[in-house]
Structure 1
């Protein structure tokens, strides 16, 4: 005698009667929709975290930029490197030569025009002050013997080992750089009050 075959609890939808198959399909559909909604919700939360994190990162960078000090103008070092390469002298010698010329301008030039020029020439006032302090130091007696004016400047530059051609090259490059920073009119106004300075322009 044959046994009646019992239907399993989770029979495939194709083997179920039509009403049961529809209920089975509805159950599977709800399950997939629930999982899809959870996946979308999780993805949305992750995207929100990424967006909030990016926004916070941008705000922190902007705040750091406001606190960061302005970049230092290294123009004087660029000038020294340019003079060293073009005139064929050591950077330390070029720095001392530039300082001597700027200190000469500060001492013998028209003060208002020199102040205006130095205010637009980064590092010029500091270099002139440092060179002036050195000249007033232990070498003050020797500098006095050299005299003042352009003759004294030439003697100081010669004491650094510069030839006349190198002196003119250093002066030309220095004043060309000053024109880049402050403009040609200010440089000419500062040089106009010093007789003979045109040979360096």
Structure 2
């Protein structure tokens, strides 16, 4: 069966689509493994359930995306595979942080304390929250570098005392 130019061209397109699909699939799988790596690390080192760790990390990253300096936090989140999706999934979780979080927000405040209230509403204690924040920041430094993450932390009032 002779091959026509169109058939050869069509085959190239199919091959290209397969390669693109494979590349996207491998990238997605890599992001899931990296995010799973962070969640597993947090769950094991903090001593909490993986589902709670995932939600809490998403809430922390979402908080940082809203509160930290735009440039550095965008670079940090992009450097952590799977982080943008985790932020999108959990950044609205926890409501307003309960009564205290609601009062703080009404007074124009909140910040780190409101995040703490939101994490407490997920059943985490202060020791767990501090350990969770430290693990998340340590992982972010491994991925984005100390300088970028230090800029993020310095741009959020009160955060440095927890990490």
Does 2:136 match 1:174? yes
Choose 108-117 or 70-79, whichever is displaced more: 70-79
Residue 141 of structure 1 deviates from its aligned partner by 8.8
Distance 1:146 1:87, change over 3 A: farther
C-alpha separation in 2, matches of 1:122 and 1:200: 24
Structure 2 match to 1:104: 63
C-alpha separation in 1, matches of 2:91 and 2:117: 15
Describe the superposition over 1:161-195 as per-residue Cα deviations: whole angstroms up to 9, x where unpaired.
Answer: 11111001101110110011110111001111111
Query: Retained in 1: the 8 A contact 2:59–2:90?
Result: yes
TM-score by length of 1: 0.61
TM-score by length of 2: 0.74
**Unmatched tracts of structure 2, length 5 or more:** 1-14
Does 2:118 match 1:156? yes
C-alpha separation in 1, matches of 2:129 and 2:97: 23
CA-based RMSD: 2.1
Q: Which has the larger radius of gyration?
A: 1
Query: Retained in 2: the 8 A contact 1:146–1:155?
Result: no
More contact order relative to length (CA 8 Å, sep ≥ 6)? 2
Residue 144 of structure 1 deviates from its aligned partner by 3.4
Give the counterpart of 1:132 among 86, 91, 103.
91
Please identify runs of 4+ aligned residues in structure 1 that moved more than 4 A: 140-143
How many pairs were matched up?
Answer: 135
Distance 1:140 1:170, change over 3 A: closer
Does 2:46 match 1:87? yes
